[in-house]
Structure 1
Amino acid sequence: MSLARLLRGLAALPLFSVPVLSQAQGKRPITQDTYDRWHTIGGTTVSPDGKWVAYTLSPVVGNGELVVRSTQGTAEYRVPRGYTGRAQLQPAADSAAQFTPAAPVFSGDSKFVAVLAYPDRDAMDQARRSRLRAELQPKAGLAIVGLADGKVGTVPRVKSFRLARDGGAWLAYLLEGDSVAAPAPPRRSAGADSTERRKDAGTTLVLRALATGGEERIADVIGYTIDDGEKWLAYAVSSKSGDTDGAFVRALSASAAAPAVALAAGKGNYKGLAIDRKGTQVAFVTDRDDYAARRPKYALWHASLGARPVAQAVVNAAQLPSGLVVADRGGPAFTREGTAITFGMAPPAQDSIPADSLAEKAVYDLWHWKDGKLQPQQKVELARDRNRTFTAVWQVATRTLVPLGGDSLPQVQVSADGRTALAVTAVPYEIEQMWAESDAGTDVWLLDATTGARRKVASKVPFRAQLSPGGKYVLWYDDHRWFAHDVKAARTRDLTGAIPGVRFDQETWDTPSLPNPWGSGGWSTHDARVLVYDRYDVWELDPAGVVPPRRLTDGTGRERHTILRVVRTDLDEPSLDASQPLLLSAIDDSTKHAGFWTDRIGGTAPPVPIVMSPNRWGTPLKARKAGQFVVTRQSYREFPDLYTGERLDALARISEANPQQGEYPRGDVQLVRWLSADGVPLRGLLYTPEGFDSTRTYPMLVYFYEEHSNDLFAHVTPTGRNLINPLVYNSLGYLVFMPDIHYIEGYPGPSAVKSIVPGVQSLIARGFVDPRRLGIGGQSWGGYQTAYLVTQTNMFAAAVPNATVANMTSAYGGIRWGSGLARSFQYEKSQSRIGCSIWTCRDRFIENSPLFFADRIKTPLLFMANDNDGAVPWYQGIEFFVALRRLGKEAYMVTYNGDEHNPTKRANQKDIDRKMQDFFGHHLLGQPAPGWMRKGIPMLVKGRDQVRMATDSVTP
């Protein structure tokens, strides 16, 4: 039966309201209160011995908790508010922003776990409403859990804590300052003594013996660290008087902490304490020797740690290139092998502009055509640029300084042995990046970190180069091939160009930019081999060019249409041990089943499956000193809870984040297939309500972005904001269809039409979709495509194109205000897929713009355009709304004042969710129109009667 005939046959059928299925089936309805009950798992970590797992259980709104669970039994301990921190989903997002959540940390001997416990949510909200000063607001505390008995010790008002990676005897934590702030010092006059400067005063550092609970307090500490092996505590003191200022170390043993030894002392600032991995040397920066100056300069200090450690200044500003000083930010760091110290150089701090200096003067931005970056981007990056540093190296053995970075080479990576450095710079191509993005390329430089000698090894490379862990090679991808530059031989080798019939770039790439490579999987020990990917398999390449390339996975991936990728379970180890089995993730590209396989670097046998199942799997964590794995597993019905075991095919579940989910309706999801209007095979997801009856007809919502079929086994939790959540809308009686889109360069709008409309028609033809009750919606790129679709078809009874671009001709020259970037690249090279400039392809910009076809629209529209949107300029929404209003079309635009591309304020998230449900409910279910649709909300009543009018809603 043709679609036209089907529509004629159904035209006479009356509209009727579909009951909320959850009520009919005796389950609880999903409401906005339901969203807030759902929990997520985060911050998962496993103890070194593999016997314990710690994770955070956080609700959308409210207080979370830390859960510490045994992997060997059922023992479980909980810490209220331990490692919570989902500020973006809290009602008082601004009050939570001062906290940076720190993950729980196990002691090296697996006997304790420590975590910061954050203030009660209600207390934080009250402090915000009361506008308390920062020092008077609630502070985090420290919780210390003994794993033998589950006893929890708590310490109030703690800033931070440290546990040694391989220790277990000691815990150090830094307390907050006094809750009553000291009065601010009087403002200095111009002629005041420069030594009477204001500096941050430290607070109390506590060193706790974990076995006994005994503690020692150290006053006025501003910074501290413990080395991995728990041999040394290093700390910096900053006192109000300055009399006790200095950098100190204390030797640690299993039972005692030796008296403090001053590395350097005297009035000044001491920052950036770092100890090498072996615990044999320490570095820091201080301005002690120049503290009396108006703008004191810092120096880098170094000491060998032993019986009587004494630090010496090894680098000062006089030794650096002209115009640079030792930076006091970022801090020094030892290379992995401890042979060199990297630290930052920076221009001296500039004087601030007096508040009245620009009075009666012109204040403006000058846009210069030769500027590398536009003024808005410079503004966004201003704080970063003011605090930028350039890399320098101090060689420990030779005691020599080697400056490496600078304006032309702002980013430098130093090898583990401190002898080689890689610099990748896009500075020569900044103007071209405005329209070409990454296709503009980067130059790749190799630097000798012992002499400073440099040479360019590649130009205009579009994909980022990498330095091998041992520093022997530079690897990059360009012109469909992998290249390796031999540092010692100063020779570049093409590693893959001679392999016939294999593509290492993404043949599924569908934007006008150069196709990305499938990626690399890491290096084997001693830089002997590098692993790279094609679409399905893993390849083993010899960077020396001696051994021919070989398909490590023997073509099994391609043969079975299974995507195989390397899984790193020891992220602290930079190389893959070729003597150990190689763990691979696996995804069947046809069924979307996933799991894990195993293989060996250098092996000849094909890869062996460990487990495959109708699930999506997370990346496994593995205990450092045991074979215990912890991993998440999920499906549409199964929340991604934690599973553990020594074998990935024999796992036990150890968490239940949402036991309440069985109280609510959950339908099902199926993979559906159809052909586009051009005959291209496509896939998508169809979500059906619980109790779905294929002999009935249902209203259906279409929600999309680019591709969704890979989410077949992704779990969906009930959430409410500017999207169509299939679980929520299934419970309201809708089918939800999420189609994939096949894009044709230059025609993103028609591509969406040719992909989505046939997909909807294929479902209508199956008899359970009511063609008169179709809705469609999308956000951002999905919003644009939604707006375009309703200019080309009248099959939808309601549409929600949120954060849409309506006019590509004006958007092309616009700014992404969040980054300051011009939007040109998005059309010429990126997601908008026009593939050329507005001057060479003027017609394409017009043909793909919904604004120019708005007169054809018959579908009622609701859309969001927020005035602080950093991705899509909100004036795009204004252009669209003004056009629709001029044409007499039913349209509603919501602007959440001060909010972003995706609303971050919880009240706004819930409001747009409610409005979308109201809008679809009215047009697809025949529900009464709410007050905001009937009468609007005049500016006169904004903030007053708006509350009543906005809540005049028909949704539960």
Structure 2
Amino acid sequence: MMRMSVSRAAAGLVFLIALAAGSLAAQTAKKPITQDVYDQWRAISGAILSADGQWAMYTVSPAVGEGELVIRSTAGATEYRAPRGYTGRPQLMAGADSAAIFNPQAAQFSADSRFAAFIKYPPAAEVEAARRAPRGRPVPQPRNTLGIVSLADGKVTLVPRVRSYRFSRDGGKYIAYLLESDTATTAPGGAGAAGGRGGRGGAGGAAGGSRQEPGAPLILRDLASGTETRIDDVTSYLFDDAEHWLAYTTHAADSTKSGAFVRDLGTGTGTALASGKGNYRALAIDRKGTQVAFVSDRDDQASAKPKFALYYASLLPTKGKKELSPATAVVTPAAVGASLLVADRGRTDFVRDGGTLQFALAPLPLDTIPADSLVDKAVYDLWSWNDTKIQPQQKIDAARDRNRTYVAAFVPATGKWNRLSDDSLTQVTIADNGKVALGLNPVQYAIEQTWGEGGSDVYVIDVATGGRTLVTRHLEARPQLSPAGKYLAWFEGNKWWSYAVASGRKVDLTGALKGVRFDNEEFDMPDTPPAYGAGGWTKDDKSFLVYDRYDVWEVDPAGVAAPRNVTAGAGRARKLAYRVVNLDTEDRFLDPAEPLMLTMLDSATKSGGYAKAKLGASMAPETVIAGAKRYAGLAKAKKAEQYLLTQQTYREFPDLWTGRTIAGAAKISDANPQEKDYPRGDVELVSWLNDDGVRLQGMLFKPEGFDATKKYPLIVYYYERLSDGLHAYVAPTGRNVINPLVYTSLGYLVFEPDIVYTEGQPGKSAVKSIVPGVQALIARGFVDEKHMGLQGQSWGGYQTSYVITQTNMSAAAVPNATVVNMTSAYGGIRWGPGILRTFQYEHSQSRIGGTLWQYPERYFENSALFYLDRVTTPVLFMANDADDAVPWYQGIEFYNAMRRLRKEAYFVVYNGDVHNPTKRANQKDIDKKMQEFFGNKLLGHPAPSWMVQGIPYLQKGRDQVHLAAPAAGGGKDPAPQP
């Protein structure tokens, strides 16, 4: 193992002591917000408190670039900083797979609050060098480094080539970390498997399948002394909660050294639970450290395709013996039958109380078709009217379906097991007590699900016997299983219901509350309004918390006690929406002995805050903190009265605040000190009446130094309801929607109006909401009504393309990823999930409310395509040829109609990119083109060359590499005048 000395490591860690603020620097002129400064803005992630509340830790990262770990004392000015490497590098990397989202692993504190650990990723230069290396040329792959920080003095130990690490949940003496093997060929960024707490099931294990590479060295480090123990060939490892045991599996080149083992951390004694040639996977240990399970094919090595069995071992001493008993095969291949296998993938885990072990079964794999067997054969897809899924969805789901598993449960006390799920009862959740499970059967409604009318039959399962009891049929909402397994609760028919597992009694919990709506009052889609939601269960399943629009209700799942309004109607009286915050994430219930913490949001002003209430009572909540801000992320130290939260406004970044009380919290981070050098402007909440007399709200973003006596160009951006985001901080970004901060810095006003809808009239509803809102702003005298633009993406793009057919108020419009023809889009495919788009029109966002043959006139009347002859507004729009949500041929229909009508239109297609571009270069390019287009039409800037000359196919890409177009003979006709 390679390890930096403490002194050398400490030199690499920046130790800062906060100083008193000095004199203010002389103010200078604000800098313009341009694309080259976007990545100066950093975000905070992974913010946590140590268990004793003495430390806060978080990572700050730009969208693209190097991140930094910060560990800050909550009681003083002590602060440690360390580089985390290339953390800001997700799918934005040039040439990266658009689906490969990179999420840096969160740093962790030890349970005793004496140490912290983090993964330091390779620097950007190493990652980029490896990515750009020619194929076939050997190149060292970037590796991750583990950092271990002593909180007492800030010293750090750096360990290179670390794949993952673990602390125990409640211990604190040890850290275990898995090194890269000497033969590892991890791709850039591929290292760093999930580490963290020593949970119960299988992290750090090898991928499923019959082949397995040899394991790697595991290091067990005593954090206080620095003493290390090396264990070779490890493939997976786990601590129990209290750190009595380290369980691990190995796979060695010498097969006799492969096996499943435990190490007694008190004595240092290691015990082989099973060993010998074979694979050992899906390791699990219960929270109390009394039992271990895993799967292995060791007993079937004589077969051509060895099959796995489930092994179980007790870690409790056997009477009369000092040694642990070896693991025994408790579920064998013979026991599961010829059509099933014990799976080496899927979840293997002990339930919370340890009385039941969940494991996975799998169907026999399909035989593969030989690669050359279809030569000179027809290759085709057959779409059958009886298919439960259409072919594109089957293709998307193929890998998951091919590797599907079934939930099964083994009960150690009885030695019996049962299969709980199958191809019909596909979703099973076992309660914390391990005795009952919730099962959902959506299969018989799968065809109806294609157009948005699915659901599930709901069952309660006896884990000990596998027996199933039907609770209700065709339920649209997902039911909740109580933590102790005594009840199910669900929302149906505008009521909350419960089902008592022991008695089979079904109870209407809220039907007696006349005039109280638990379904969404503002829901305006042509479907059943969903519930406002639930706040969770109380201890021992005594009660269940549900929401109306504003208040919190406590209901008795047994149906004996009457429902209690915990917030005493104060929410509705004050127009404050109260919602539960669970500060103890370890427990899955709310403790009635503790204050009930609530978030609150003022629906009129958008002000936020936190309040306290009392379970078992009905009284107005006590406000803890409130203001014209958005408060979020509230957390509490596990063993101390120390709180962590963020607060933000449009002008104030959501930095971290901490304190012994919430109201007394002080700011401890400053992620973006550079923002003071750039213009910020401000935002105003505005209101108006739409054409149907409904009072609406919206946000008006103003440039810095706004002067109401002057006139400003206006850009209107919308989706549905956005005004609740009044106090959300906006960082500068460049992508396929306008950024209010960027555009106000360019001299525009930006207006974001809320929109409400009438069923069957989505396009007209948008016009009725947007146009009066703009007119209300014009009446105030500061809008240049001859220089107004519209912009939207996806649903906002649809509304933009429709609005310009109904009014000529805008001088420019950018409807990205738009639908212009509902009649053709209705039968299209959302290529990301492979599903049919009909549900969106019949039941969801597009709000037509029926089929194309029921309401052909609605589809026609709400399709911009049929009114494009009225358009006078120049348009720029994007539709990408790998769009995973809207068929990109909608863009083709739009372009060809505008071109045929000789109306000014510019159509951008980013090849191989999706609905919202994920490739960094494409994000920046559409941002630039939108700025250039609006700049030309609304600010009078010169038109860029792509607007004047276009880009012929033979010249494609020359503008990106700065090659001039041929001087003559380029084969381009003169550009027609719009």
Change in Cα spacing, 1:912 to 1:83, as seen in structure 2 (3 Å) is closer
Structure 1 residues 560-614: Cα deviation after superposition (integer angstroms, max 9, x where no partner)? 1000011011111011101111101111111111101101110243321111111
Identify the match of residue 402 of structure 1 among 418, 436, 445.
418
Alignment of 1:40-189 (within 5 A): 40-81=43-84, 84=87, 86-91=89-94, 93-94=96-97, 97=100, 101-131=104-134, 136-178=140-182
Q: Does 1:263 align with 2:273?
A: yes
The residue that corresponds to 1:391 in the other structure is 407
1:439-490 CA distances to partner (integer Å, 9 max, x unpaired)?
A: 4221111111111111111011110011111100011110001110010011
The separation in 2 between residues aligned to 1:197 and 1:892, in whole angstroms, is 53
Q: Percent identity?
A: 57
Aligned residues: 910
Which deviates more from structure 2 when the two are superposed, residues 335-344 or residues 347-356?
347-356
Listed as ranges, the matches of 1:535-574 within 5 Å are 535-574=549-588
2:530 counterpart of 1:516: yes
User: What residue identity is the alignment partner of 1:127?
Assistant: A
Structure ranking higher on relative contact order (CA contacts 8 Å, 6+ apart): 1
Q: CA deviation at 1:87?
A: 0.4
Q: Contact between 2:440 and 2:457, CA under 8 Å: does it hold in 1? A: yes
> Quick one: structure 1 residues 753 and 907, their matched pair in 2 at CA, closer, same or farther if it must change by over 3 Å?
same
1:56–1:82 contact (8 Å) kept in structure 2: no
CA 1:135–1:308 in structure 2 vs 1: closer, same or farther (change >3 Å)?
A: farther
Match of residue 229, structure 1, among 218, 221, 242: 242
Do residues 305 (structure 1) and 319 (structure 2) align? no
Displacement of 1:546 in angstroms is 0.9
Deviations 1:881-916 (A, max 9, x none): 011111101001111111111111111111000000
Does the C-alpha gap of structure 1 residues 600 and 623 become closer, same or farther in structure 2, counting only changes over 3 Å? same
Counterpart amino acid of 1:244? K
* SS of 2:132 mapped into structure 1: helix
Q: Which amino acid aligns with 1:469?
A: P
Deviations 1:87-117 (A, max 9, x none): 0334464499496522111111101111111
Q: How far, CA to CA, are the matches of 1:525 and 1:940 in structure 2?
A: 69
Contact 2:64–2:88 (Cα < 8 Å) also in 1: no
Equivalent position SS for 1:893? strand
Q: Which amino acid aligns with 2:413?
A: A
Alignment partner, residue 34 of structure 1? 37
Could you report, residue by residue, the CA deviation over 1:819-852 in whole angstroms, capped at 9, with x for unpaired residues?
A: 0000000000010000100000001011111111
SS of the residue corresponding to residue 84 of structure 1 reads strand
Residues 99, 838 of structure 1: CA spacing in aligned structure 2 closer, same or farther, 3 A cutoff? closer
Using the size of structure 1 for normalisation, the TM-score is: 0.93
* Partner residue in 1 for 2:824: 810
Aligned residues of 1:82 and 1:115 also touching (Cα < 8 A):
no
| 3-state SS, counterpart of residue 594 of structure 2 | coil
Q: Which amino acid aligns with 1:367?
A: W
Change (3 A) 1:592 1:124: same
Runs of 4+ with deviation above 6 angstroms? 132-135
SS class of match (2:423): coil
Distance 1:165 1:807 in 2: 55
Tell me the amino acid that sits aligned with residue 869 of structure 1. D
- 1:276-675 residue pairs with structure 2 within 5 A? 276-306=286-316, 307-309=322-324, 310-320=326-336, 323-436=339-452, 439-675=453-689
2:896 maps to 1:886: no
Q: Match of 1:10?
A: none
* Equivalent residue, structure 2, for 1:849: 863
TM-score (norm 2): 0.91
SS in 1 for 2:36: helix
Q: Which amino acid is 2:160 matched to?
A: P
Contact in 2 for aligned 1:668/1:687 (Cα 8 Å): yes
Tell me, yes or no, if the aligned pair for 2:47 and 2:59 is still in contact at 8 Å.
Answer: yes
C-alpha distance in 2 between matches for 1:70 and 1:382 = 50
Helix, strand or coil: the match of 2:839? helix
How far off its partner does 1:349 sit?
2.6
The 8 Å contact of residues 937 and 949 in structure 1, kept in 2 or not, is answered as no
Task: Give how far 1:135 is off.
Answer: 8.6
Deviation track 1:266-318 (CA, whole Å, cap 9, x = no partner) reads: 11110111110111111111111112322211111111113522211101122
Amino acid at match of 1:561: K
Matched, 1:708 2:712: no
For 1:941 and 1:181, locate their aligned partners in 2 and report how far apart those are by CA, in whole Å.
Answer: 40
* 8 Å contact kept, 2:65–2:89: no
| Contact 1:931-1:949 within 8 A present in 2 as well | no
Q: 1:721 aligns with which of 735, 740, 762?
A: 735
Q: Is 1:918–2:928 an aligned residue pair?
A: no
Letter in 1 for 2:410: W
Deviations 1:114-148 (A, max 9, x none): 11111111211111110468994201111111111
- CA displacement 1:521-572 (0-9 Å, x = unmatched): 0111110100000000000100111111111111010111000011011111
Q: State the SS of the aligned residue for 2:907.
A: strand
Cα distance in 2 for residues equivalent to 1:751 and 1:739: 12
CA contact (8 A) 1:433 1:440 kept: yes
Partner of 1:242: 255
In structure 1, the partner of 2:23 is: none
Q: For residue 212 of structure 1, what is the amino acid of its counterpart?
A: S
The offset of 1:69, in angstroms, is: 1.1
Distance in 2, matches of 1:800 and 1:97, equals 29
**What are the Cα deviations for residues 844-870 of structure 1, in whole angstroms up to 9, with x where unaligned?**
011111111111111000001111110
Give the residue type in structure 1 aligned to 2:172: G
Could you list the runs of 5+ residues in structure 2 that have no partner in the other structure? 1-26, 187-208, 317-321, 966-978
How do 1:858-869 residues align onto structure 2 when only pairs under 5 Å count? 858-869=872-883
In 1: Cα distance, 2:92 partner to 2:210 partner: 41
Distance in 2 (alpha carbons) for counterparts of 1:324 and 1:197: 16
Q: In the alignment, is residue 762 of structure 1 matched against residue 776 of structure 2?
A: yes
- Read off the aligned partner of 1:434 and give its amino acid letter: T
Distance 1:703 1:950 in 2: 36
How far apart are the structure 2 equivalents of 1:352 and 1:79?
50
Distance in 2 (alpha carbons) for counterparts of 1:533 and 1:82: 43
Q: State the SS of the aligned residue for 1:81.
A: strand
Q: Do structure 1's residue 927 and structure 2's residue 944 form an aligned pair?
A: no
SS of 2:729's equivalent in the other structure is: coil
Contact 2:66/2:88 (<8 A) preserved: no
SS of match in other structure, 1:284 = strand
SS of the residue corresponding to residue 383 of structure 1 reads helix
> Does the CA contact (< 8 Å) of 1:931 and 1:950 recur in 2?
no
Matches of 1:412 and 1:65 in 2, distance apart? 41
Q: CA deviation at 1:179?
A: 5.7
- For residues 134 and 60 of structure 2, what CA distance do their matches in structure 1 show? 29
Cα deviation, residue 251, structure 1: 0.7
Q: What is the CA–CA distance in structure 2 between the aligned matches of 1:705 and 1:173, rounded to whole Å?
A: 47
Residues 722/50 of structure 1: CA separation in 2 closer, same or farther (3 Å cut):
same
Distance 1:404 1:871, change over 3 A: same
Task: Give the counterpart letter for 1:414 in structure 2.
Answer: I
Please tell me the residue identity of whatever aligns with 2:323: R
- SS for the counterpart of 1:474 is strand
Q: 1:217 aligns with which of 217, 221, 230?
A: 230
Q: SS where residue 580 of structure 1 aligns?
A: coil
Residues 486-528 of structure 1 deviation map (CA, whole Å, 9 limit, x = unaligned): 1001110000111111000001001111101011101111101
Aligned position for 1:800: 814
Partner Cα separation in structure 1 for residue 879 and residue 961 of structure 2 = 20
Distance between the aligned counterparts of 2:311 and 2:183, measured in 1? 34
The CA distance in 2 between the partners of 1:486 and 1:825, in whole Å, is 34
1:18 corresponds to: none
1:206 aligns with: 219
Distance 1:520 1:589 in 2: 19
Unpaired stretches in structure 1, ≥5 consecutive residues: 1-23, 183-195, 952-956
Q: Aligned match of 2:854 in 817, 840, 843?
A: 840
